[in-house]
Amino acid sequence: LQLWKAASAPSGLDAVVNWICALFSESMPLQHFDNYPDDVFINRDVIKTIHHILQVRTSYGIEFQDMFDLMQRVAEEMGTMNLEDEDLDDVVPLAVVQSLARHFLVGFIRLMTDLGFDAPIDLD
């Protein structure tokens, strides 16, 4: 219920997304690349930890490498990385992790409201 309390508070969604990203970026330092001065990147080992914690393989049948590749393709569509750049083979932009965290939390909040909890924030 602590996650519910934090995420459903005013500005809570942003605060929890920032907290999640800070938590995961503590295990390995964020990476910067000269060709992408406005973006920061997170190492594949951190993505592997996220994959494990969220039990993506068990819950959805998605292997780690498939999830990692998908996150990189999302980054390319967002314009934050070029898949042809070999320097970026083992990283994902932090913006993609933020998007994943936000969508996860929105799903969590919707589930909680379906269960009868009051959501004081607008999710749209």
Q: Whole-prediction pTM value? A: 0.87
According to the model, what pLDDT value does residue 124 have? 57
| pLDDT, averaged across the chain | 91
Q: Identify the bridge partners of residue 43 per DSSP, sorted by sequence position.
A: 91
d(CA 40, CA 31): 6
According to the model, what pLDDT value does residue 46 have? 94
- Are 41 and 91 in contact by the 8 Å Cβ rule? The answer is yes
Handedness of CA 83, 86, 91, 95 (dihedral sign): negative
Q: Where are the alpha helices (DSSP H) in 9-63?
A: 12-27, 44-53, 56-60
Q: What is the pLDDT of residues 81-102, one digit of tens each?
A: 999 999 999 999 999 999 999 9
